[in-house]
């Protein structure tokens, strides 16, 4: 059998591993707790154990592996594989993750930003398969992003490109987690959606959400807004629609900037379905130029929760082939 690629999605809660073939087929998977509180060595133990288990699940061993890719939370240097100080990995400070894992595993290891890796996964083997140029937005607590232009991740000179969540959509707008104001993320994420709900209620709008949160507006969650939509609460529908409009506005800028074939959406928020996708598509189309607006298809992710692990494998293969001039 030709050699396989390992993909690892290193999250603050779980380490997920996939074994993939060179053409992007998933051969086996493993998932286990990260034990982030234990610091870098404990986390690397978990990654190593997860890789061993995933290989065993596919009936394979280390000798069958060409390379491994790790999608890690930023900030990091993707070229050296050094991870700086991710907020959800306590005790990590300038950890040379690629080098340390390569020593443990005995085959080449590559580290990339987790949002870029998810984008590459969708490009390689998911909803973006066959596209030359695409972008991905992860819609969850925050808004992450990745961009592939003519088959390659757009990384920027310092590797910091594709921070789609921090596109500015409003002058002096809401304060974003990054410290800046008016970022897309402050409107288009779950956090932003809850913020929109709180502002609406404070301006006097009536909704079932006030009752559900017991009058403490800061207890409102994204799930409550979705439940409100499901129960026909007009205000919840308005909040969801507003959120879709903000997302669509950000996407219209991406469409005008990149002229992509696909805009792939993933993350917890996309389970809202058409009630969110319709305002996203309508707003994106209304605010972009005709030709790129017609070209860009806005679709949900094809790999579900696996875009990160499969993408980490895909990135590793692309980088291995580049390193070996193939
Ligand atoms: Zn920001």
Note the pLDDT tens digit of each residue in 166-200.
999 999 999 999 999 999 999 999 999 999 999 99
- For residue 74, the CA-to-ligand 1 centroid distance in Å is 14
Over residues 207-222, the mean pLDDT reads 95
- Which class would CATH give 131-301? alpha beta
Closest CA to 312 of 17, 7, 1: 7
Ligand 1 mean position, distance from CA 326 (Å): 38
Phi/psi-derived region of residue 203, left when phi > 0, alpha when psi is between -120 and 50, beta in every other case: alpha
Name the 3-class secondary structure at 117.
helix
* Residue 1 pLDDT class (50, 70, 90 cuts): low
Q: What is d(CA 107, CA 102) in angstroms, rounded to the nearest whole number?
A: 6
134 vs 88, residue with greater confidence: 134
Ligand 1 mean position, distance from CA 307 (Å): 24
**Would you tell me how many other CB atoms lie within 10 Å of the CB of residue 266?**
27
Contact between 284 and 255 (Cβ < 8 Å): yes
Q: For 90-134, what is each residue's pLDDT tens digit?
A: 999 999 999 999 999 999 999 999 999 999 999 999 999 999 999
For strand 65-72 and strand 109-113, is the pairing parallel, antiparallel, or unpaired?
parallel
Question: What is the C-alpha to C-alpha distance for residues 117 and 323, in angstroms, rounded to an integer?
Answer: 18
Tell me the percentage of the chain whose pLDDT exceeds 70: 99
pLDDT by residue (tens digit) across 12-32?
999 999 999 999 999 999 999
Q: For residue 178, what are its two tokens?
A: 């990054």
d(CA 77, ligand 1 centre) in Å:
20
Distance 218 CA to ligand 1 centre (A): 21
pLDDT at 266 over 80: yes
Give me the sheet containing 26-33, strands edge to edge. Answer: 26-33, 14-20, 4-10, 65-72, 109-113
Instruction: Note the pLDDT tens digit of each residue in 35-51.
Output: 999 999 999 999 999 99
Check if 4-120+306-323 and 131-301 are the same fold.
yes
Domain borders along the chain are 4-120+306-323, 131-301
Give the residue from 263, 179, 272 showing the smallest Cα distance to 226.
272
Distance (angstroms) between ligand 1 centre and the Cα of 120 equals: 23
Structure token pair of residue 186: 């402050």
Q: Answer yes or no: are the C-beta atoms of 164 and 184 closer than 8 Å.
A: yes
CA 243 distance to own-chain centroid:
18
Q: Ligand 1: distance of its center to the CA of 202 in Å?
A: 24
Query: What is the pLDDT of the chain when averaged over all its residues?
Result: 96
Per the DSSP assignment, residues forming a β-bridge with 228 are: none
What value does the mean pLDDT take over residues 246-257? Answer: 98
- 260: CA distance to ligand 1 center in Å? 23
| Helical residues (DSSP H) of 203-260, grouped into ranges | 208-212, 222-230, 234-258
Q: What is the distance in A from the centroid of ligand 1 to the CA of 189?
A: 11
Q: At residue 283, does pLDDT exceed 90? A: yes
How open is the CA angle 57-55-80, to the nearest 5 degrees?
150
Ligand 1 centroid to 192 CA: how many Å? 12
* Residue 150: partners with Cβ closer than 8 Å, 6 or more residues away: 132, 133
pLDDT value, residue 326 = 67
CA dist 187 and 194 (Å) reads 9
Burial of 199 (0-12, 13-18, 19+ CB in 10 A): middle
Q: Is the pLDDT of residue 78 over 70?
A: yes
Distance in Å, CA 297 to ligand 1 centroid: 26
Measured in Å, residue 163 CA sits from the centre of ligand 1 at: 9
Residue whose structure tokens are 């903000």: 246
Q: What is the pLDDT of residue 87?
A: 85
Q: Which fold has domain 4-120+306-323?
A: Nucleotidyltransferase; domain 5 (3.30.420)
- Assess whether the previous peptide bond of 75 is cis (omega < 30° from 0): yes
């Amino acid at each position: 059998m030709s050699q396989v690629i390992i993909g690892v999605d290193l999250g603050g809660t779980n380490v997920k591993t996939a074994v993939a073939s060179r053409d992007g087929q998933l051969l086996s998977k493993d998932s286990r707790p990260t034990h982030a509180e234990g610091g870098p060595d404990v986390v690397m133990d978990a990654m190593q154990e997860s890789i061993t288990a995933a290989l065993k699940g596919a009936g394979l061993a280390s000798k069958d592996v060409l390379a491994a890719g790790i999608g890690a939370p930023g900030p990091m240097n993707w070229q050296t594989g050094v991870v700086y100080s991710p907020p959800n990995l306590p005790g990590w400070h300038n950890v040379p993750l690629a080098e340390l894992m390569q020593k443990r595993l005995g085959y080449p290891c590559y580290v990339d930003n987790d949002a870029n890796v998810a984008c590459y996964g969708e490009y390689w083997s998911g909803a973006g398969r066959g596209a030359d140029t695409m972008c991905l937005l992860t819609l969850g607590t925050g808004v992450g992003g990745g961009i592939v232009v003519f088959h390659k991740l757009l990384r920027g000179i310092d590797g910091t490109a594709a921070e789609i969540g921090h596109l500015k959509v409003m002058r002096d707008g809401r304060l974003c987690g990054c410290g800046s104001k008016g970022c897309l993320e402050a409107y288009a994420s779950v956090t932003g959606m809850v913020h929109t709900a709180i502002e609406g209620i404070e301006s006097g709008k009536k909704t079932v959400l006030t009752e559900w949160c017991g009058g403490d507006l800061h207890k409102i969650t994204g799930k409550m807004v979705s439940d409100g939509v499901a129960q026909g609460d007009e205000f919840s529908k308005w909040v969801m629609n507003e959120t879709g409009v903000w997302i669509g506005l950000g996407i219209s800028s991406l469409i005008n900037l990149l002229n992509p074939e696909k805009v792939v959406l993933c993350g917890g928020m996309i389970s809202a379905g058409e009630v969110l996708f319709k305002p996203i598509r309508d707003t994106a189309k209304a605010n972009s130029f005709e030709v790129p607006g017609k070209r860009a298809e806005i679709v949900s992710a094809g790999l579900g929760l696996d875009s990160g692990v499969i993408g980490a494998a895909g990135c590793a293969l692309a980088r291995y082939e580049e390193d070996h001039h193939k």
